[in-house]
Structure formats: structure tokens, C-alpha cells
Structure 1
């Protein structure tokens, strides 16, 4: 197969491209490098079954040509990170909604199966935990910018499922919970790479809010394996699936664990949300996936626990540090 991966130079996109190549496929990666990086594709540089094109998913003619040349599409291109979502709300909405419309329209024209990556953010402020795919989505007010991301991704899901119901376009929706691992940047607010960088530098590890909010972190290798499994399974079409890990940890506990694993020199400092983001910022106290649906279909079970994930991220950061004898390419 020849697959198109939009957002292919992103953190998850780069790992997915590697996975597909390892499975024997050809890959065409499309990315405008606004948040992605060539570093995420370093291992594929010069590979005979890999091609990269620098363009936006908003460029309709480019996307159409890419879709036409491939037999399946993984649509990962999106605005990423809470900080980017809060700081650039217009770009967030336009990239997510507009880009997905272009991709779905092209896939429908050429009858290409497409997997759309969505997010656990669509569950919003729902108090029901763990989150199952059929649960209600409880959004905050439109005056709070962070909900623009959740609502835009929910609209993407509605749009994709509309193509499935109306035109029988083969679509699969994957709701990703916190995905972490080597090559993830902390530039856009991702918590683990930020904590690790602070811990290794002996700087204060900055926890936003009171630290009692909890998350579940999945290794990117587990996640891309699940994405491939869903794309390959005919009974996944027209369905929504959670992908993540259901091992829950508070952000304060996470900070303490990172401190311990990076030498124990850092203090843990609490930063109010209004200082970290903006006045009126809202956060969810818990975000835990129900993984029973994807487990039943493809046997998905996370293979990395939190300590294994942290050790992986820390090892890469140490190897890439100035003065290291070995530069990491993982």
C-alpha cells in the first residue's frame, strides 16, 4: 500500500511514518512544518519508499493530488498543544476544520479510506469517568478559548461520520488521549517533555493549577500500532475508538516522579492557570479512557507503563544534551 500521512513531520506523524515503512508500505508525508520538524523524519531521510512534500492541508489542489496518488490516508494534521490553542485560536479553528474538510472531500472523490485522529478533549467537562466512545460530550462556554479546539475536533468527527453515513466513505475516528515519547517537544505546552527538561536542568518543575488534575499517558509506539490496527480492520469503519493508556496519575505525582528520575534536584512550583495561560482558563480534573471497545476489536493493550515512558523520554533528552558523546536520533 501507499499511504498519505498528513501532519507527517509531527511527533506522532513521524513515528507513524516509520511504522508504516517498517511494515513494508510506501509513505507520502504532507506537512507545512508550522509545528512539525524534519527531525521527526530523520530516520527516513533518503528511504526509497518514503516521500515528503512541504504544503498545508488547506492547499486543496496539493491535497487532491496526494490523495489520488495513495491508497489510504491517515489524517493527523492539526493544531497541537494547549498553549498554541489558547494563543492562536483563529489558526486552530481554520487548520482543524478547514484542513479536515479538504482531506475528506478529496478522499470521497477518490474513494480512499481515511483514519481521522481526534482527541480526548471532545469529552470536555463530562464528569463521567472513564470516558466511553458513546458518552455525552460536555463543552464549556464559547467565551473560553480552550473549548474552540474541542469543538473543532468534534465537528471534524461529525463531518467524517456524515461522509460514512451519506456516501459510505470508509472512515475511522481515533480519539487520542495524552500521547508521549521520544521526539515530543514541550514548546506547545506538552507536560512530560517540559517536566523532563526542567528536571534535567535542575530548574523548578512548574505544575499548572494545584496539580490534582489527573491524566493517563500512552507511549507513541503503542498509539501508532493501534492506528495501523484500526486502519486495517474492516469492522472499524464508521466507528469511533479511544486510544491511550488507562493508568491514571495526578500531575503533581507526575512532577514528583520526573524529579526523582532526573536526579531529585528540582523543587516543584505551582503556577496559577491565569499566569500559565490566560484569565478564565478551564481545565478538566480527570481524563481517563475506557479502552474496552478497541480491546475487543484489535486486542489493543498498552505495553509501556508510566515509568517506562519517562525513562524513554529522559534517555533521549540526556543523549541530546550539549556535551553528550552520542546524539540521539530516536
Structure 2
């Protein structure tokens, strides 16, 4: 199998590339390196079945037009990611997420190529459900708050995939990631686990935004990659949406305390108002727990790596 991974030099993409190469596949990575890095592919850079191309899925449609027919499957991970990037550069967020996905979906439909499109738990928006299910209604905040531009752009990606699937039978699947974490993830764009771990290793204050009672579920990237490999060959997932994440919920304050404990740090916890961290009127999701019954019922998948192990892995990668 020949796989095309957009955003393949990113955090999730690089781990996926390693796994596909290990399975005997050939991998072409397209990445503009705006948030990804060649260093993420260091372990496989000399593999003759890996090709790395620096390009942009938004602007270089001719390159995509030549690559998509050559591959058996596309995994579209290229996106503007991270709350800080989304809040401070909403134009880039929207254009990257919408136009990049439109370009790759149009070509995948034209050549009837298998495609997975990465979406996000952010699309659940301001929903207050205890667990988020793939068929839930989605509640997005006001367009006056740039916080929701990312959710809206990724939701439009999902609608595009569904439209192509209905119109032409595109063998496409949406995967909604819930706080994927692990080695190689950077805290530069607001990702909380590497940000906390990095500061803890330096014995600096861990900055908890808001009241710290907002809760999240963190899933190791190795578990996420395993889920993608299980979904890729299944025709009964075409036209479907699948949550991928852990169901162990932890508040951000509890996460900070656990990071301090696991790293044996002397850091203290510092509470920062959202307005100071991001922008006036910033809105956050109070809880974010996936219902993963659908992917489990089809594939048997469930996360296996604990939050403690996640923190330890990130600590080793940053030490």
C-alpha cells in the first residue's frame, strides 16, 4: 500500500508514518513545516519507502493532483492547530482548514481514493453532554469570538467529506480526535500537557487558565495511531464519523498536580484568567469526554496507555 499523509511531519503524522512504514507500506509526506518538523521524522528519514515533500495543501494543487492518483489511501492531517494559533491567527486557521481539505477531498473523490480526514472534539462546541456521541447536535459559539473559528472550519471539513461521499461514493471517513498527546508534541501553540511538563522539568510555575475546573480526557498518540490503522481498511466506516480518545476525565488543575508529582518538580500552580492568556471574552469547553462505543463495537479498539504513562513519555522526550 502507498499512503499519502498531509501534515505528515507533524506530531500525529510522524507517528503514523512510522507505523505505516513498519507495516511494509510506502509513505509520501506533504508538509509545509509551519507547525511540523523534519526532526519528527528523524527515525525513518533514511527509509527508502519514505518520501518527504515540502509543500502546502492550500496553494499547491498541482502537486496534489500528481500525488493523489499514485497513492492507495490518503490521511489528511494538515491543519492549523492549537488554541493559541487559532485565537491569534483566525484567518490562517479558516483558510488552511477549509481550502486545504477541499483540495484533497476533490482529488480523492475524482480518483476514488480511500481517505481519512482528521477532525476534532472542538466541533462539539458548547455542548453540555456528559459524553459526546458522533450523532449529537453541535453547539458552536458566536462568530464574534475567534475561539470558535477552528471548530467551525473543521466542521465544514466534515460536511465536505459527507457531501463528496453522498455525491460520488467517496470512500471517506472522519476521525474526531480528543486531546491526543505524547512524545514530539510541542506546547508552543497551547497544548497543555507538553506545556505543563516542560515548565515542571524547569521547576517553573504551571499556569492553569481560568478556574482550572475544566476537564479533558488525554489519549496517547500510539493509541490514536492504532485506531487509525484499524479504521483504514474497513469499508463499513465509509461515510462515518468516529470519536478517538480516552474516557478518563481529569480537570486541568488535577493534571497540573499529577505532572508535578510524576516529574518530582518543585513547581507551583499559578492561576491565569482566560482574558490574560488569550483574549477578552474567551470561551472554553467545560468538559470534553468522548463516547467511543462506535469504534469499539466495529474494531474492538480502546485506549491502553494511562495518563501517568503519557506524562512519563512526554517527560522523557523533553528531558
TM-score band by shorter chain is over 0.9
1:1-330 paired onto structure 2 within 5 Å? 1-58=1-58, 59-318=60-319
* Cα displacement (A) at 1:264: 3.2
- Structure 1 unaligned segments of length 5 or more: list them: 319-330
Aligned-pair distance for 1:231? 1.0
Unmatched 5+ stretches in structure 2: none
What is the CA-CA distance between 1:128 and the residue it aligns to? 1.1
> Helix, strand or coil for the counterpart of 1:43?
coil
After TM superposition, the score normalised by the length of structure 2 is 0.99
Aligned length: 318
Structure-2 separation of matches of 1:264 and 1:312: 16
Q: 2:157 is paired with a residue of what secondary structure? A: helix
TM-score of the aligned structures, taking structure 1 as reference length: 0.95
Q: Deviations over 1:67-91 (max 9, x none)?
A: 1211110000000100000010000
Structure 2 CA distance, aligned partners of 1:208 and 1:88?
Answer: 20
Q: Distance in 2 between matches of 1:131 and 1:247?
A: 13
Cα RMSD for the two superposed structures:
0.6
Q: Distance in 1 between matches of 2:173 and 2:9?
A: 21
Deviation of residue 280 (structure 1)? 0.7
Question: What residue is the counterpart of 1:328 in the other structure?
Answer: none
